[in-house]
Amino acid sequence: MRTVPVLTRLAWRYLWRNHRRTIIMLSAIVIGVWAIIFMTALTRGMVDQMIKDGISVLPGHVQVHNPQFLDDPSVSNRITIGDEELSRMFDPAGFKAWASRVRVPAVITSERESRGVTLLGIDPAAEREFSFVDYDEVEGRFLESAEDTGVVIGRKLAKTLETRVGKRIVLMSQDPDNEIADRGFRVVGLFGASMPAFEEMYVFVGKKTAQKMLRIGDTTTEIVFIGDDYRNVDPTYERVIDSVDGKLKVSRWYEVDNYLGTMMKVMDGFVLIWVIVIFLALSFGLVNTLVMAVFERIREIGLMLALGMKPASILGQIIIESMLLLVVGLAIGDVLAWATIQPLKEGIDISAVAEGMEMMGASSILYPKLYLKDMILANVVVLFLGFLASLSPAWRASRYEPVEAITKVG
């Protein structure tokens, strides 16, 4: 294929013969590509953040429960293996992070009001890395150890209960024999969360204190594992399955929260549909440009054919023209998209619609996320479809009868 460099050079020159047309078409491609990548990055960022927030509350990429617990979240359906044995099981396996915790529904009562909450008995040191609460941002202090006898509640809940740091509240739940288990706690800290609903729903106490209150010895209700990447949890999942050998229910995060899992899948579909829609809108212009480019040089094409240029070369030249147009457009569009997303990396504040975003499960700051894979997908799809779209005009150009073409009045 020695002819390719020549054809490319020819194609390039033809493109700039009518520079206005080329520039308009280029602008359209650039805007299209920019829109594809920019929009994708925004939506990706939103879904990513949703999933991260969601996982941080679940928390854990992989979770282990008593099989009955998810349907009937009571301490009688707890994991009967004690903490010490759990450490023997999981510590040597070298998970990135794991923690066992007590999670039960409870009622919190202040002097003024009562509310239903989810009580989390945790070892604060073990969960620091993946907790949805930033320990350092807590008003007052966060729990200091698993033996801590204080309670940390959300700011919004504190407001409803009319309580504050230093005051006492009572937590009430059930022990394994279905007897009421309650205990007074001093509020030691108030946390803020990216999702206001979390501030009303979760209450943190020390794991040991919770175990004592619920009379469950050193057992817990769930074990959570963090892997390297939430999009690829199978390696962690399989290792956990091996370690617990069938007695407990092991779930991946997207099995625990269907909504989040669906969001992630829907997102991939959305990217592809968006790329195709934009491309189709572009394709009319692209084909039009090529048809015009062929039409206005029918005589030249006829001449070239008469001089012995192969029809295949004509075909190749038109396709190369279209590809050049697309490649230049894609390159500029990619750079432009990158340049607009980069300064927005710090997050876009959309708190004007915060409660609406919360309904979707997203927080009010949007961090656009530019994935290489989305960029590649967009570029490859546009190039491939562009190739298909240019086939017809190119094919017709290469089929001209030389004599007819030369004598055609342009």
Partner 1 sequence: MNIVLRLAWRNLWRHSKRTWLTIGAMVFSNTLLVFMISIQFGMYGLMIDNTLQVFTGHMQIQAPGYKDDQKMRQTVPDIVPLASQLREKFPTQAIAARGWAFGLASSDERSYGIGIFGAEPEFEPRVSSLPGLIKEGRYLHGNDATEIVIGAVLARNLRVAVGDELTLLGSGLDGSFAAAVVNVVGVFESGIPDIDRNFAEMPLGAFQDVFYMEGAGHQVVVSAATLDDADLLEPEIIAALPAGTGLVVHDWDALQPGLKQAIQADMSSAFFMYGILVILVAFSVLNTQLMSVLERTHEFGIVMSLGLKAGRLGRLIMLETALMGMIGLIIGSITGVIFTSWFTVNGLSIPGMEEMAANFNLPARIYPQVTPWTMVTGPSVVFLFTLLASAYPALRLHRLHPVEAMRAN
As a whole number of angstroms, the distance between CA 341 and CA 335 comes to 10
Closest CB to partner 1 among residues 116, 235: 116
Q: How far apart are CA 135 and CA 270, in angstroms?
A: 36
Is 276 an interacting residue with respect to partner 1 (CB under 8 A)?
no
Rounded alpha-carbon distances, angstroms, from residue 280 to 32, 205, 330: 10, 56, 15
Is residue 408 close enough to count as binding partner 1 by CB under 8 A?
no
> What span, in angstroms and rounded, lies between the C-alpha atoms of 266 and 381?
19
Q: Is 388 in the site for partner 1 (CB under 8 A)?
A: no
Return the SS3 of 409: coil
Q: In the range 74-113, which residues lie near partner 1 by CB under 8 A? A: 74, 105-107, 112-113
Q: Taking CB under 8 A as the rule, does residue 265 contact partner 1?
A: yes
Q: What is the dihedral angle through the alpha carbons of 148, 154, 158, 164, rounded to the nearest 10 degrees?
A: 40
Sign of CA dihedral 74, 80, 83, 86: negative
Q: With respect to partner 1, which residue has the nearer C-beta, 273 or 380?
A: 273
Residues 166-205, mask of contacts with partner 1 (x by CB under 8 A): ------xxx---x-x-------------------------
Segment lying near partner 1 (by CB under 8 A), choices 5-13, 138-146, 275-283, 312-320: 275-283
Nearer to partner 1, 115 or 141 (CB): 115
CB of 329 to partner 1, least distance (A): 11
Tokens for 13, please give them: 């020159």
Determine if 356 is a binding residue for partner 1 (CB under 8 A): yes
> Counting beta carbons within 10 angstroms of the beta carbon of residue 344, is it exposed (0 to 12), middle (13 to 18) or buried (19 or more)?
middle
Q: Which three-class secondary structure state does DSSP give residue 112?
A: coil
Residue entry with tokens 């997050």: 347
Q: Could you list the residues that contact partner 1 (CB under 8 A)?
A: 18, 20-21, 24-25, 27-28, 31-32, 35, 39, 42-43, 71-74, 105-107, 112-117, 159-160, 172-174, 178, 180, 258-259, 262-263, 265-266, 274, 277-278, 280-282, 284-285, 287-289, 291-292, 295-296, 350, 352-361
